[in-house]
Amino acid sequence: MSGNHHGSSAISERVRHVEALLEARGLVDEGEVDRRIDEFLAGGSPANGARITARAWVDPDFRDRLLADANAAIREVGLSMAGGLQEQRLKVVANTEDEHNVVVCTLCSCYPIALLGPSPAWYKSEAYRSRVVRDPRGVLAEFGLELPTTTRISVWDASAESRYVVVPRRPEGTDGMSEEQLAGLVTRKGLIGTAAV
Amino acid sequence: MADRFAPGDTVRTSTTDPVWHTRLPRYARGAVGRVVEVAGHHPLADDRARGLPGTTRAVYHVRFAAADLFGDGDHAVTVELWEDYLEPADPSGGTP
């Protein structure tokens, strides 16, 4: 990855070497890789996912559109999955009383950066990636999320081209809150599915 | 080219263990699941990783019962899989 990528592992060494070769052979301009990564990350923040969630809570029609065609629906609120080399397909799944959703990328660390910003370290850890598909109820309990046994758990493995965002359930006692206030309740973990909200 | 599968179809994943990069996770090999939706059309990751020219083909969300992947568990796992990884399966879940 980029020059400011932390760590000094063998992989980082290799990446720096490949970057240098690409520049030396004129395939990319000096600093272009860093600039492209900066562009990709620009504007990416969990606040975006929170805005979408709050809108879905207050507007059932928006929620329906979001679950049916998320790429089109998020454009309504000025967001897009087109920040990278190509527009990524977005799949939004909503938690209900009966079903709780949680997202993982078992093969690497695919993540909806445009809507959630850079992924947390635990999301990329081998422990999370290997265990959450096998024992999601146990892993969620370790995150402090104890689900009733009557709530089914659906794990979504971002193994190909789609990226996933979870719409948490709207907390009780929030009827009087504005959309902006509601957005303030939503956390990054809630949008991945490792927290209730 | 028409998609080979449609939502509701029962499919079995490949058991092949290629030496190259693939995006059929090991835990989901040789398992029977159900197609939930067509998730677009993309060149096969296995081809792209090897620098081969790849035509686009359907990618599906396939939902598996945890018990069918791991032998136990009451949850479901939905994996996104290229058409190339899938074969039709007997809807009863038995080996064809």
Say which CATH superfamily domain A46-192 falls into: Nitrile hydratase alpha /Thiocyanate hydrolase gamma (3.90.330.10)
Domain boundaries defined on chain B: 10-88
- DSSP alpha helix (H) spans, chain A: 10-24, 32-41, 46-58, 60-68, 70-75, 113-116, 121-124, 126-134, 136-142, 179-183, 188-192
Q: Are A92 and A51 in contact (CB under 8 A)?
A: no
Amino acid at position A160, single letter: A
Domain at B10-88: CATH code: 2.30.30.50
Cβ pair A134:B73 closer than 8 A: yes
Asked whether this complex has an ipTM greater than 0.95, the answer is: no
Kindly state the helix (H) or strand (E) to which residue A99 belongs, with its residue range.
strand A99-104
Query: A2, A109, A119, A162: which one is catalytic?
Result: A109
Q: How far apart are the first and last CA of chain A?
A: 32
Give the pLDDT confidence score for residue A4 in this predicted structure: 47
Average pLDDT, chain B: 93
Distance from C-alpha of A18 to C-alpha of A156, rounded to nearest angstrom: 33
pLDDT at A183 over 50: yes
* Chain A residue nearest residue B26, CA to CA: A107
Residue-wise pLDDT for A1-24, tens only, equals 444 445 568 888 998 899 999 999
Q: Binding site residues of A, as ranges? A: 105, 108-110
Taking the Cβ of residue A151 and every Cβ of chain B, the question of whether any pair is shorter than 8 Å is answered with no
Alpha carbon of residue A137 to chain centroid: 20
Q: Which residue has the tokens 């909200």?
A: A197
For residue A159, indicate whether it is catalytic: no
Query: A108, A125, A159, A178: which one is catalytic?
Result: A108
Region for residue B70 given its phi and psi (left: phi exceeds 0; alpha: psi -120 to 50; beta: otherwise): alpha
Q: What is the mean pLDDT of residues B40-60?
A: 93
Give the pLDDT confidence score for residue B92 in this predicted structure: 60
For residue A162, indicate whether it is catalytic: no
Q: Are B40 and B81 in contact (CB under 8 A)?
A: no
Residue-wise pLDDT for A118-173, tens only, equals 999 999 999 999 999 999 999 999 999 999 999 999 999 999 999 999 999 999 99
